[in-house]
Chain A
Amino acid sequence: SQQGEEDPQALSIQEGENATMNCSYKTSINNLQWYRQNSGRGLVHLILIRSNEREKHSGRLRVTLDTSKKSSSLLITASRAADTASYFCATDASGGYQKVTFGTGTKLQVIP
């Protein structure tokens, strides 16, 4: 299965601290995406990084991709209570069909 694995499964930090989540996957990919899901809600797309990119920034988010290690990390800097959510990585290995496989997710709690 291509399903990615994320670690940690759960992370609890104080507001203002940085949060780092990691994702590992098994096969070659076209791109990797990170999504956020608030409890009982749909997913919000955060950032997409292509296989030929190594790092990408968007606001307080920083994503890295290491295709040799088949891993990615998501860093949220200066976390806020509103960042409390589950974060999923999703890999696209479908050759343009946009079919993605989701990782197991990291549940982040930011304590005010």
Chain B
Amino acid sequence: GAVVSQHPSWVICKSGTSVKIECRSLDFQATTMFWYRQFPKQSLMLMATSNEGSKATYEQGVEKDKFLINHASLTLSTLTVTSAHPEDSSFYICSASGTGVRETQYFGPGTRLLVL
């Protein structure tokens, strides 16, 4: 139980385009979803927290107009990287917690983004 999927697993795009990443909880209702960014050989940095039906709360230094987060249902959150640039290239990971899985976050497999 407590499976989280992410799609796509990797994406290559041209500079200036927008990329959408989906995060789904497959077998539980995710009242809260988290989006992280991880640079090579570094730890995870929290970008934002989203609660179903509410606006996301962004961490300091994260541009909310750049990284659009939508959490429209209890099983789906999306992260859209708008007007992507090479410096946005990174590994993006979502996690979810919620009904039946309190205190623990369950992580998706991650999405590797490369912006050319």
Which residues of A are interface residues toward B (Cβ below 8 A)? 3, 31, 33, 35, 40-45, 48, 88, 92, 97-105
Known: A48-B104, A92-B103. A102 touches B109 (CB 8 A): no
Chain B: residues with Cβ within 8 Å of the partner, total of 25
Tell me if A33 and B104 are in contact (CB < 8 A): yes
How many contacts A-B (CB < 8 Å)?
54
Tell me if A102 and B49 are in contact (CB < 8 A): no
Tell me if A97 and B43 are in contact (CB < 8 A): no
Known: A97-B49, A101-B46. A40 touches B110 (CB 8 A): yes
Tell me if A3 and B112 are in contact (CB < 8 A): no
Chain B residue, CB-CB nearest to A33:
B104
Tell me if A43 and B93 are in contact (CB < 8 A): yes
Of the candidates A41, A45, A92, A101, the one whose C-beta lies within 8 Å of that of B106 is A45
